[in-house]
Amino acid sequence: MSEVDRPSGYWPPQVPTPPKRHPLRLLVVLLVAAVLSTVALGVGRAAWRAASTSPLVSSLRDPSAVSAPWAPSRVPPAAGSSGASSGSTDLSALVAKVAPGLVDINTRMGYQNGEGAGTGIVLSPSGEVLTNNHVISGATSITATDIGNGQTYPVTVVGYDRVHDVAVLQMQGASGLQTASIGDSGAVAVGDEIAAIGNAGGVGGTPSIAAGTVSALDQAITVSDDTTGSSEQFVGLIQVAAEVAPGDSGGPLVNTAGQVIGVDTAGSDGSRFQSGSEGMAIPINDAIAISKQIDTGTGSANVHIGPTGILGIMVHEPAIQTGHGRLRSRYGSKVPGIAVAGVNPGSPGEQAGLAAGDVIVSLDGAAVDSPTTLTSLLTGHHPGDLVRVAWADQSGQQQNAALRLAAGPPS
Q: Say how far apart CA 349 and CA 408 lie, in whole Å.
A: 13
- Radius of gyration for the alpha carbons in the chain, expressed in angstroms and rounded: 21
Angle at 137 between CA 196 and CA 107, to 5 degrees: 75
Instruction: Please report the sign of the dihedral spanned by the C-alpha atoms of residue 273, residue 48, residue 160, residue 119.
Output: negative
Q: Say how far apart CA 386 and CA 402 lie, in whole Å.
A: 6
In this structure, what is the dihedral angle of CA atoms 281, 210, 40, 113, given to the nearest 10 degrees? -160
Indicate if 181 belongs to the active site: no
The answer to whether the beta carbons of residues 315 and 279 sit under 8 Å apart is no
**Catalytic residue (one of 146, 165, 264, 358):** 165
Q: Where are the alpha helices (DSSP H) in 219-324?
A: 284-295
**Catalytic residue (one of 249, 291, 347, 376):** 249
Question: HSE on the CB side for 256, CA within 13 Å?
Answer: 14
Indicate if 90 belongs to the active site: no
**Catalytic residue (one of 37, 52, 92, 134):** 134
Instruction: Please report the sign of the dihedral spanned by the C-alpha atoms of residue 239, residue 240, residue 242, residue 248.
Output: negative
For residue 162, give every residue at least 6 positions away whose Cβ sits within 8 Å of its Cβ, in sequence order, or none: 36, 39, 133, 137, 302, 304, 375, 379, 411
Question: What is the 8-class DSSP label of residue 66?
Answer: -
In this structure, what is the dihedral angle of CA atoms 19, 23, 28, 29, given to the nearest 10 degrees? 30
The answer to whether the beta carbons of residues 202 and 270 sit under 8 Å apart is no
Strand partners, 73: 211
The answer to whether the beta carbons of residues 280 and 244 sit under 8 Å apart is yes
Q: Say how far apart CA 99 and CA 126 lie, in whole Å.
A: 17
For residue 201, give every residue at least 6 positions away whose Cβ sits within 8 Å of its Cβ, in sequence order, or none: 14, 16, 47, 208, 245, 246, 247
Indicate if 134 belongs to the active site: yes
Residues forming the active site: 134, 165, 249
